[in-house]
Amino acid sequence: METVHEKNAKVFKAFCDPKRLAVLEQLRSGEKCACVLLDKLDIGQSGLSYHMKILCESGIVDSRQQGKWTHYRLSETGRAYALALLQQITAPDTAQLSCCGCKE
Amino acid sequence: METVHEKNAKVFKAFCDPKRLAVLEQLRSGEKCACVLLDKLDIGQSGLSYHMKILCESGIVDSRQQGKWTHYRLSETGRAYALALLQQITAPDTAQLSCCGCKE
DNA sequence: ACCTCACATCAACTTATTTTGATGTGATTA
DNA sequence: TAATCACATCAAAATAAGTTGATGTGAGGT
């Protein structure tokens, strides 16, 4: 069983690694194929594959096969989901405001 | 030297761990002292201290000493910063849209 | 001054993540 | 169909993150 916290933590794992942030930066300017991402990244081919899998599974990146090439792009849906989630988990919930509970 | 990607990755590390998300959930309803956080968390005292340090250093949580107790609360500034950062790193940058670059 | 409480820090350990090189697979080309 | 290209997968190794228990520290209380 996976708790909701474990599930949510996975969404943010996508943004927790500098290599993955470098990939996202490249994708901001449009769809890229793996070979293009690769030669700007100081990383091996299997390393890129590893990180792209994490980005795709987190939903923030979509992929598309075209013959031998795989093209990656930012997912607008994934973006919206991550932003909404971050807003939610950091939002003060004034409806249930309680005092500290400390024995002082 | 720390790259901007390494710096940004640290911000999201705060949200990458289920225990830390559980802490944030508690803080949504208002300021809490460590002892209160502790007994809802299936974690040891030193473990909580470890996670609170990460949350504070990432800027998403502020702490306040009051006598022997330390009180923690969500930081509105930290929240705004993390949200703005997430928006920025996932925003399509149409100004510099380029074609894929693949040799197809 | 001494004791206790709340929390921080440390070191040893466990577990998870990342990197690397080798090998596998499916699409395309010769 | 054999060779090659683009990428995925695997296993081993390196590194990082998290847990645990012991010890340190500083604020209060006695």
Q: What pLDDT shows up at residue B7? A: 95
The 3-state secondary structure of A33-96 reads EHHHHHCCCCCCHHHHHHHHHHHHHCCCEEEEEECCEEEEEECHHHHHHHHHHHHHHHCCCHHH
The answer on pLDDT for B60 being more than 70 is yes
| Topology annotation, domain B4-87 | Arc Repressor Mutant, subunit A (1.10.10)
**Each residue's pLDDT tens digit, B9-39:** 999 999 999 999 999 999 999 999 999 999 9
**Each residue's pLDDT tens digit, B74-88:** 999 999 999 999 999
| CB pair distance less than 8 Å for B30 and A67 | no
| CB pair distance less than 8 Å for B104 and A36 | no
Determine the 3-state secondary structure of B97 from DSSP: coil
Class of domain A4-89: mainly alpha
Is B33 (CB) below 7 Å from strand C?
Answer: yes
The answer on pLDDT for A103 being more than 90 is no
The rounded distance, in Å, linking the Cα atoms of A61 and A32 is 11
DSSP code of A104?
-
The 3-state secondary structure of A28-44 reads HCCCEEHHHHHCCCCCC
Q: Which residues of B touch A71 (CB under 8 A)?
A: 100, 102
**Each residue's pLDDT tens digit, A45-84:** 999 999 999 999 999 999 999 999 999 999 999 999 999 9
